[in-house]
Structure 1
Amino acid sequence: MRKLLLVLLVLLVVLLVVGLAGAGYGVFTVRRSWPKTDGKAQADGLQAEATVIRDSWGVPHVYASSSHDLFFAQGYVHAQDRFWQMEFWRRIGSGRLSEILGDSALGQDRFIHTVGWHRTAAEELKRMDAQDLAALEAYAEGVNAYISTHKKRLGLEFTMLGLTGVKFEPEPWAPLDTISWAKVMAWDLGGNRTAELLRAQIAARLGTSAVAELMPPYPDNYPVIVPHPLTGATLDAVPGAAFDFYALGNGPGIGSNNWVISGERTETGMPLLANDPHLGIQMPSIWYEVGLHCEPVGPDCPYDVTGASFAGVPGVVIGHNAHVAWGVTNVGPDVQDLFVEKINPENPDQYEYEGAWVDMQIVREEITVAGEDDPVVVNVRITRHGPIINDVVGGPEDDWAFGWEPLALSWTALQPGTLVRSILLLDKAGDWDEFRDALSYWDAPSQNFVYADVEGNIGYQAPGRIPIRAAGDGSMPVPGWSGEYEWVDYIPFDDLPRTFNPEEGYVVTANNAVVGPDFPYFITNDWAPGYRARRIVELIEADDSISLADVQAMQGNSNPIYAEDVLPHLLVLPVTNTGRSDREERRLTEALELLRAWDGRADRDSAGAALFEAFRLHLIDLTFGDELGEQLLGKARRSVGVALVNLLEDEDSHWFDDVNTPEVETQDEILLQALEDAADELTETLGRNMDKWRWGELHTAVFNNQSLGQSGIAPIEAIFNRGPVETDGDSGTVNATGYSLSDPYTVQHVPSYRQIVDLDDFTRSVSMHTTGQSGHPYHPHYDDMIDPWRNIEYHPMLWQRVDVEADAEGVLVLRP
């Protein structure tokens, strides 16, 4: 009954906000949280005046005379534009969403409390260097200066939740909130846990030999990032439900591109650096662009930097300062291992290690749930390898404790780190050595950093805490009781892959293999397949005088390169004498002709792209569905889609036979059947006329607000969400608008921010993220970037103050 009343009340709120808009009340309600961006504002805690100039895209450029005031002002503007996002994110990091969303968020909160991001963050805070802590505290002071003076005007989400009975006063921002969110991002980007469990599931169902075929190693003929670097568990114990504990992450398909091109290959004779990190689609954007400028720049205020930041975190994560530029993609090292623990049958709080029973650490966690009188208690059990994760993932504790063998999670980010120090040092790095020094503190998540400087140098560095194992490679769960598979050390920073002014004249990273198999340390088995890297390298090597416009075209490239590997096997096949009727043969011939005429681009207006994408999905299902079954196939489609390219080279591969029929199906039969099924699917969804099929009708992007935008109540979702909009690209293109192969074709992952830095002249640099700078619905900067983003358009990355002032939309002077 409580939920029904809540829904009715929410609907009433919608009627009030939307229906009364014409009378002015709705306009007032929506606009009351829009921040002041022009004039003067008092901000208690500032040491001197700070100026915030917002340009025509809503990007704030902050000018201050001390580091304290610079980060204070950054916290203030983050809170102005994105405080609900910050509030929501910190509740994710601390496992406190249930306090405002009720029991619908309880499963997620239980898992977060079990993994313990907040516990690690608290320990990290205790060990933090005084200078780094001062930056976090100054930032928090700025956030709190804003929220303390705008308590009833922080965001429409607060207003609507309040009207539905969810009453809470936002707590003051604290350094712990920043660090906890950094752990969330590390979780999203930092491990192979799903691949590890997938290997175990495939091996349990089909035998270990199938793992190598269905999850193949990185191909030898694909690009590696640094070709010349300077330097068996019990599988039945793995619970199927353990796949679900990736709910906090963005799932398979997350990736990024970056590349840097030396002046030897550019039009200007100076480097060009490009970056587009691929993250889950959301509203507002995960990124917030900002310029941070000390006036004057000196020892007491050394920052002069611009680029993309996270709301909730001081500094710039991707961008350039006056000397160097950088971009990041995910390395994806194997920094997570699952250990199968043996529990003492006489005491569920003891586990075996090297022949002895050892007491677990038991941590009592309490979760407050909206509408409930008593907190939910989670007793987290922690072994030497980490927390037992399937206490909350594999089912109710009483059901699994003596039936499942519990899984302990080892993860490098569960150890206190120094990420904040790395970001702050990076923002003021002046050359390659200072850049590398900054990255020596970057522990998790490990990233591919490309580098360029105003002297014309380019480089690459992979930082991060990557374990060295006593045995094994972490590719599947391992026994925890034997001591054989322990982590004994981490790869020393100076031994991690790097290159400086490589002989190729460029560095390309797209989550592909960083190094070849001869590298002395193990990094991972789970590289991205290399499609995007292969295409970017082709485009760079085809032009010896690359311009900034050329790089823009590269970022927008929508050629799925794996189509070049798949289609030759299909397009040569005859359709006659296959047992089909004349009508079916004509339809199949028409489909083949459409693919033969296709230009290979996954553009939104392309009929060929729509047919190819549907064909690929049906080919995966027809080839592997019989052996894997629907449940496992749903988890494995992306991996086996890569394996399929290899299998097509062997026309006698047993995978093409349907084990559920007495006949032996051939590769050719499966290829034609997949095409026929794809044509039937698209005829049903897009109509009979193939020439009118359009990829964009299937492949749309919806930017969902993470909280109320997923309420299931259409009028509310219409307030906070934007889309659908048609997009180019697919999961394997440089313009990587990825979708789930198990839930096609809606976009799930996007190039969340595009940046191109021109080291010859910073004023020519450009950028664009997905939605807009504002987190306030209906604000002019809430969704003004969506169309430019999907059309591969950019805005200037304004650098010089004179240019910022010429494009000023508002000038806000913050006074102590």
Structure 2
Amino acid sequence: MSRARTLRRVAIGVVAALLVLVVGLAVVVLSFAQAATPQTTGRITVDGMSAEVTVARDASGVPHLTGSTLEDLARAQGFVHAQDRFFDMDLRRHIASGRLSELVGKSGLPADRVVRTLGWHQVAEQSVPLLAPETRRVLQAYSEGVNAYLESRSRNRLSLEYAVLGISLPDRPIEDWTPVDSVAWLTAMAWDLKGNYTDELSRARLTGRVTREQIIDLYPPFERTGHDPILGTGDWAPGARPPASSVPNALADVPAPSVGETSSVPTAPDWYAAVQDALAAVPALYGRGEGVGSNSWVVSGDLTKSGKPLLANDPHLGTRLPGIWYQNSLTCQTLTEACPLRVSGFSFPGLPGIMIGHNDRIAWGFTNLGPDVSDFYLERTDVEGRVLKDGVWTQPETRVERIQVAGGPTETITVRTTSHGPIVSDVLPSAKDGGVHAPTFGAGASGDVYALSLAWTGLRPSKTADALLGLNKARDFTQFRTALRDLAAPSQNVIYADVDGHIGYQAPGVIPVRAPSGDTGVPGYWPSPGWDSHHDWSAEVPFDDLPWALDPAGGVIVAANQQVSASPTPFLTTDWDPGYRSQRIHDLLSRTATGGSTVADMEAIQRDDRDPTAQALIAALNDVDLRSDPFTASARELLNSWDGSSPARGKGSAAAAYLNAVWSHLMLLTFDDELPEDMAANGGARFRFVMSHLLTEPNHVWWDDAKTPGVVEGRGAILSQAMVDAREDLTRRLGKDPKGWQWGELHTWTPTHPVLGGDNVPGIVRWAFNDDPVRLGGGSAIVNANGWDASKGYAVTWAPSMRMVVDLADLDASVWINQTGASGHPLSDHYTDQVADWAAGRNRPWPFTARAVAAATEDTLVLAPRS
């Protein structure tokens, strides 16, 4: 037998063996997935129930729960959340408690070190006793419902993920759910939504790399955008309290933070970068930075066809599979003081109640307020580890954390905490060497050691869980505001409407008062010197001094992350969204109000894909002479008759593809030659605002390419090169003919599981847990905010996590859509069944009344007490 023939037989045998292995793995995957699918019809007995709770699931698999007591509804919601989303709940629980390594192995250690250092679980443990007795009863009942489901199934029948992870990692018993687990997730949520925390470190990192003027150019004050704030003049009168920036500025003549270079330790920018990278290890399950924007608006009945308000909301968060939200209803058969709920909307698996939605009297929506609620402090320490403040050296508090790792040894870390907060630089491997050895802010001696601590409102015990239950129960604007007094973090814009015709707004949350930072006159602009108590937080802004409004004169409130009001009091932040989305929404609402706005009008606005920043860039591009480059000019011609719309395909899509490609290359050419690689320009709304000013200054220093010494480029050269590079880029990706280009071919979202979506996962597993790419329109700074990062390509990285429109004239006429589906089980019909409608901007009916729910019901499950 020839050698070649022998090799062929061996190859065939190997292939056959692999096929058997693949088929066998597929059978195992499918069998476990089928076993994990929950029961949705019939009857299940649940310990602790005082009476039956009916779970009526509609065609989308959305459960509508009806019961007799508040505790029974909470218990049933815990059971149903666990049925559809327990692995996701368990994943979040492990992240929020700094125990991700127990679930996924050593890859979770970087996140665990940060979370243990911050002490999220301790914050939750301290928060639970502060809550009202009713809230504690609800949390306990919810936990009992989750645990009842856990007791009914083996680990591998809870979710397919456990079976897959169990192949390579040792199984660990699944612990009972507790109220602390629920409350800890509120801290985890607030971490992603906390505002400008990354900007503060980024500005410090740029010191010495670019000029002070260039830093201010990149982080401009958005109060001067010319776009309407949330509240107009006369809608809200701020209190007499002076703005925080009026506090005497002891650092007025001190340069921005800088740390001298030594032979044995990194320079300050490198040190700040290392801390920033370490903190970023915590999974961004809600999104980060610009990826946590949102749209919301409310229109009074004077401007609607029905004569009653309309309220719309679509929070923009990171994309994931399963999606962040879980739709459901909680209805008491008879409204009483003991059972006060008739509420429906979007919940978080792991938390009882409804986060965003409506009850039978009021509706509410959230967008991120984005106030500056965190500050970094440089701590000056000595060789004994003591920390200096106001001339006195004291030892920081310490505690030991032991991190158990699945399949590996336990890791021990020591956490140090100062009067400002935990020393976050200790999460760095180099922290054991003592941090940074150099004078900072002109203080200290050359032998001093510096660490970095974090002050953040989310690290204080709070009654935020009380606020969420209070919202669910509120019957009018007064009760709505009373509930929000307890919301500490994350601080949000909360819009309001009710069946009596009122509309309103409240900005809740704990907002610190402190001195300005550096020579900017802006609190929290740079890391502050921790050894001087002048820079400590001196107070909190009283709730009654926070912006709010009831029935503003214009009849419209738009809250899309822009500046809240023109008043500098109280100081909230300077890092607002520049307001492109909010202004576009205002403009569209002014048109629909002419004939009386409808639900369909609100849906159309949510789908709006017009780029409000396009025309200024197109005008500048048309100033560039391309007569000698017809190849590039043929692509620019797409822009001449373009209306600025950015659909995934069809009219306008080719022009959108080209302009966005030009924009991507413009970011690279203008900014990335001087920015650190991990701080590359993402091209979002902030950079669009920055670019709008640079386009008016042809010789601004940012136009010069730092990589071409001896040559000083201006605006024309950079714009010309961006157009050339974009033409070549799209020719390679989409073909030579520009008229055939489609934005949706570049701008896609691939629904991806947060744990089992990586390239290191077997193909059959990736196939089971992840979905095909979805073509999307819209983009950053656009109302249909399917955002993308220009430094990483054109793929969608954040998007509307859900959409809803509430009709206060007829709650059954309201509409909603989720990003993926109700279920977290891959074989469920409801794993990704809402993706196509969500991508197309189509909403689904939202039944609320008993009659509407009964008509929509397809499966009925009864959760019954044990006899």
Structure 2 length-normalised TM: 0.89
> Residues 451, 669 of structure 1: CA spacing in aligned structure 2 closer, same or farther, 3 A cutoff?
same
RMSD: 2.1
Deviation at 1:384, TM superposition (A): 0.4
Partner residue, 2:713: 665
Partner residue, 2:760: 712
Q: Do 1:13 and 1:163's aligned partners in 2 also have CA atoms closer than 8 Å?
A: no
243-252 or 24-33, which deviates more: 24-33
Q: Deviations over 1:741-760 (max 9, x none)?
A: 22111111010010100011
Letter in 2 for 1:608: A
Structure 1 length-normalised TM: 0.94
Deviation at 1:50, TM superposition (A): 1.0
Distance 1:13 1:427 in 2: 57
Q: Do 1:305 and 1:320's aligned partners in 2 also have CA atoms closer than 8 Å?
A: yes
Q: Deviations over 1:268-325 (max 9, x none)?
A: 1211100000111001011000100011110110011000000000000000001100
Return the match for 1:222 from 221, 227, 245: 227
Does structure 1 residue 46 correspond to structure 2 residue 93?
Answer: no
Partner residue, 2:35: 32
Deviation at 1:112, TM superposition (A): 0.8
Q: Deviations over 1:369-421 (max 9, x none)?
A: 11224x10110110000011111147453363657621100000100011110
Return the match for 1:390 from 405, 415, 425: 425
Deviation at 1:478, TM superposition (A): 0.8
Does structure 1 residue 170 correspond to structure 2 residue 180?
Answer: no
Distance 2:368 2:406 in 1: 37
Return the match for 1:593 from 630, 637, 645: 637
Letter in 1 for 2:765: I
Return the match for 2:689 from 642, 661, 672: 642
Distance 2:704 2:791 in 1: 22
Return the match for 1:127 from 127, 130, 133: 130
Deviation at 1:230, TM superposition (A): 3.4
SS at structure 2 position matched to 1:626: coil
Identity of matched residues, % = 40
744-753 or 233-242, which deviates more: 233-242
Q: Do 1:341 and 1:480's aligned partners in 2 also have CA atoms closer than 8 Å?
A: yes
Does structure 1 residue 732 correspond to structure 2 residue 739?
Answer: no
Does structure 1 residue 484 correspond to structure 2 residue 517?
Answer: no
Q: Do 1:327 and 1:450's aligned partners in 2 also have CA atoms closer than 8 Å?
A: yes
Partner residue, 2:158: 154
Return the match for 1:777 from 816, 819, 826: 826
Return the match for 1:281 from 307, 319, 331: 319
Partner residue, 2:10: none
Partner residue, 1:651: 698
Partner residue, 1:291: 329
Partner residue, 1:378: 413
Q: Do 2:195 and 2:289's aligned partners in 1 also have CA atoms closer than 8 Å?
A: no
Map 1:223-372 to 2 at 5 A. Answer: 223-228=228-233, 229-231=236-238, 234-236=257-259, 237-238=268-269, 239=271, 240-244=273-277, 245-248=279-282, 249=284, 250-254=287-291, 255-344=293-382, 346-348=383-385, 350-372=386-408
Q: Do 2:225 and 2:578's aligned partners in 1 also have CA atoms closer than 8 Å?
A: no
234-243 or 115-124, which deviates more: 234-243
Letter in 2 for 1:678: A
Partner residue, 1:568: 619
Q: Deviations over 1:154-177 (max 9, x none)?
A: 011112222334312210000010
SS at structure 1 position matched to 2:534: coil
Q: Do 1:638 and 1:741's aligned partners in 2 also have CA atoms closer than 8 Å?
A: no
Return the match for 1:763 from 812, 829, 836: 812
Deviation at 1:19, TM superposition (A): 2.1
Distance 1:102 1:25 in 2: 22
Q: Do 2:105 and 2:169's aligned partners in 1 also have CA atoms closer than 8 Å?
A: no
Deviation at 1:340, TM superposition (A): 0.4
624-633 or 103-112, which deviates more: 624-633
Deviation at 1:447, TM superposition (A): 0.5
Q: Do 1:35 and 1:81's aligned partners in 2 also have CA atoms closer than 8 Å?
A: yes
> Residues 636, 477 of structure 1: CA spacing in aligned structure 2 closer, same or farther, 3 A cutoff?
farther
> Residues 308, 13 of structure 1: CA spacing in aligned structure 2 closer, same or farther, 3 A cutoff?
farther
Partner residue, 2:98: 95
Q: Do 2:420 and 2:454's aligned partners in 1 also have CA atoms closer than 8 Å?
A: yes
Distance 1:460 1:136 in 2: 28
Return the match for 2:853 from 793, 800, 804: 804
Letter in 2 for 1:591: A
Q: Do 1:39 and 1:811's aligned partners in 2 also have CA atoms closer than 8 Å?
A: yes
> Residues 654, 164 of structure 1: CA spacing in aligned structure 2 closer, same or farther, 3 A cutoff?
closer
Q: Do 1:273 and 1:756's aligned partners in 2 also have CA atoms closer than 8 Å?
A: yes
> Residues 132, 13 of structure 1: CA spacing in aligned structure 2 closer, same or farther, 3 A cutoff?
farther
Q: Do 1:14 and 1:715's aligned partners in 2 also have CA atoms closer than 8 Å?
A: no
Distance 1:801 1:697 in 2: 44
Does structure 1 residue 616 correspond to structure 2 residue 684?
Answer: no
SS at structure 1 position matched to 2:750: strand
Deviation at 1:633, TM superposition (A): 3.2
Does structure 1 residue 512 correspond to structure 2 residue 546?
Answer: no
SS at structure 2 position matched to 1:400: coil
> Residues 684, 399 of structure 1: CA spacing in aligned structure 2 closer, same or farther, 3 A cutoff?
farther
> Residues 12, 365 of structure 1: CA spacing in aligned structure 2 closer, same or farther, 3 A cutoff?
farther
Distance 1:16 1:98 in 2: 32
SS at structure 2 position matched to 1:32: helix
Partner residue, 1:444: 489
> Residues 12, 281 of structure 1: CA spacing in aligned structure 2 closer, same or farther, 3 A cutoff?
farther
Deviation at 1:723, TM superposition (A): 2.3
Partner residue, 2:12: none
> Residues 637, 788 of structure 1: CA spacing in aligned structure 2 closer, same or farther, 3 A cutoff?
closer
Q: Do 2:29 and 2:160's aligned partners in 1 also have CA atoms closer than 8 Å?
A: no
Deviation at 1:151, TM superposition (A): 2.2
352-361 or 128-137, which deviates more: 128-137
Distance 1:569 1:446 in 2: 39
Partner residue, 2:499: 454
> Residues 56, 278 of structure 1: CA spacing in aligned structure 2 closer, same or farther, 3 A cutoff?
same
Distance 2:513 2:24 in 1: 63
Q: Do 1:50 and 1:69's aligned partners in 2 also have CA atoms closer than 8 Å?
A: yes
> Residues 406, 66 of structure 1: CA spacing in aligned structure 2 closer, same or farther, 3 A cutoff?
same
Map 1:412-423 to 2 at 5 A. Answer: 412-423=457-468
SS at structure 2 position matched to 1:241: helix
Deviation at 1:491, TM superposition (A): 0.8
Distance 2:308 2:684 in 1: 42
> Residues 18, 758 of structure 1: CA spacing in aligned structure 2 closer, same or farther, 3 A cutoff?
farther
Q: Do 2:257 and 2:526's aligned partners in 1 also have CA atoms closer than 8 Å?
A: no
Q: How many residue pairs get matched?
A: 794
Deviation at 1:663, TM superposition (A): 3.1
5+ residue gaps, structure 1: 1-10, 577-581
Deviation at 1:433, TM superposition (A): 0.3
Letter in 2 for 1:234: P
Return the match for 1:793 from 832, 838, 842: 842
> Residues 554, 636 of structure 1: CA spacing in aligned structure 2 closer, same or farther, 3 A cutoff?
closer
Partner residue, 2:471: 426
Letter in 2 for 1:355: G
Partner residue, 2:74: 71
Q: Deviations over 1:549-575 (max 9, x none)?
A: 111010011112111232211124332
SS at structure 1 position matched to 2:189: helix
Map 1:497-576 to 2 at 5 A. Answer: 497-516=547-566, 518-544=567-593, 545-576=596-627
549-558 or 659-668, which deviates more: 659-668
Partner residue, 1:626: 673
> Residues 592, 98 of structure 1: CA spacing in aligned structure 2 closer, same or farther, 3 A cutoff?
same
